[in-house]
Amino acid sequence: MKTISKILSVFVVLVTMTSCAQNKKEKHNDTPIMQKEASLEMNKDSLDAKIVDNLEKQVVEKKLELTEEALSAVGETHSILEAIKKGNKKDAIKKGNLLIGKLEVLLTRNPNLSLIPININYQKEELITTVDEVRSATKLAEKAMNDGYYQLASDILKEIKSEMIINTYLLPAGTFPDAIKVALALLEEDKPKEAEIVLNNVLGTIIIKKTVQPLPVLNAEQMIIEAAIIDKENHKNVEKVLNLLKNADYQLTLAEEMGYGKKNKDFKTLSESIKTLKKSVKNKENSNGKFDSLKKDIIKFKEKLFSKVKK
């Protein structure tokens, strides 16, 4: 986990020194634009665990979509390499032919497949911060840019991210089977070293597709799910539900301030839906339909804005 406070303390000094040097006197407004979120109504560890659990379910579902042939491709290639290193030519050729057969079945079944998915995992890069801290940081970055400190501005902005990155590992379908065939031909010619080089080279062609899921958006989604569950308990915990919705709205504002979408546009519909939902909950109305609609909207929102590949 990262914190933005240390970053800001360094950059405040540098930018302040720049301002003094240029004899600029600017009035600084210390009044918070937005209050910090209320009590989470959820244990932070519990919130994190539920987010990870949901992501793991998505990973498992995607892995189930991957064929046995795809998942075994890399492992079996390493097995062929191991057989070559041990001098077991016949075993290597046998394993290679079996792998080629599996890949050919896969490509026959999916003729338009250009990349073979072989694995999926995720990594977390979390920034512990508030809306006010992010706003302060972006103001410092803007000032640094205006004063000509472009690298300083870049250093500030690159730290303003909090996200879960989902990695999908892919092999080029066109080159992988052909490389196995070339390696086997070299083995038949008693050229094991050359075969090893070919196999290692093809393993080096693995492509990693990265998609980003902002953690504040995932936090908001989980809070909405939790609020919907509690709301079904016959309005016994109205304040808890309202606090969860308030925090969900805050998390979406945090994501917006971090630049995960266009301000006052991409997040506007979700914010208005939460506002309507809070009113419904406060009036102790049947809010099931509104909760279901909001949950669907946030899923569509994530797919629209965050399904892009990250380089």
Q: What is the CATH number of the domain that holds 187?
A: 1.20.120
The residue ranges of DSSP E strands in 111-267, in sequence order, are 115-125, 127-128, 163-172, 207-214
31 has pLDDT over 80: no
Residue 19 located in a structural domain: no
Residue 25 located in a structural domain: no
Asked if residues 209 and 167 have their Cβ atoms less than 8 Å apart, the reply is yes
Asked if residues 67 and 106 have their Cβ atoms less than 8 Å apart, the reply is yes
Same domain, residue pair 191 and 257: no
Same domain, residue pair 181 and 109: yes
Kindly report whether the global pTM for this prediction surpasses the value 0.75.
Answer: no
Same domain, residue pair 188 and 291: no
Q: What pLDDT is attached to residue 205? A: 87
Phi/psi of residue 101, nearest 5 degrees: -60, -45
Same domain, residue pair 84 and 190: yes
Residue 193 located in a structural domain: yes
Same domain, residue pair 280 and 227: yes
Tokens linked to 214: 């902002």
pLDDT range class, residue 235, cuts 50, 70, 90: confident
Q: What pLDDT is attached to residue 107? A: 82
- Mean of the per-residue pLDDT values of the chain: 82
CA dihedral (137, 244, 265, 272) positive or negative: negative
Select from 64, 161, 172 the least CA-distant residue to 120.
Answer: 64
Select from 165, 173, 180 the least CA-distant residue to 207.
Answer: 173
Identify the domain boundary among 205, 233, 250.
Answer: 205
Same domain, residue pair 247 and 291: yes
* Count: domains in the chain: 2
Residue 155 located in a structural domain: no
Query: Which conformational region is residue 190 in: left (phi greater than 0), alpha (psi within -120 to 50 degrees), or beta?
Result: left
* Cα(84)–Cα(268) distance, integer angstroms: 60
Same domain, residue pair 87 and 195: yes
Identify the domain boundary among 178, 205, 232.
Answer: 205
Same domain, residue pair 173 and 269: no
Q: What pLDDT is attached to residue 225? A: 93
* Cα(114)–Cα(177) distance, integer angstroms: 12
Residue 98 located in a structural domain: yes
Same domain, residue pair 72 and 197: yes
Residue 188 located in a structural domain: yes
pLDDT range class, residue 279, cuts 50, 70, 90: very high
> Which residue range is the domain that position 199 belongs to?
67-117+169-205
190 has pLDDT over 80: yes
Same domain, residue pair 193 and 281: no
Give the number of other Cβ atoms within 10 Å of residue 71's Cβ: 15
Residue 52 located in a structural domain: no
pLDDT range class, residue 22, cuts 50, 70, 90: very low
Identify the domain boundary among 181, 205, 229.
Answer: 205
Same domain, residue pair 201 and 222: no
Same domain, residue pair 222 and 279: yes
Residue 278 located in a structural domain: yes
29 has pLDDT over 90: no
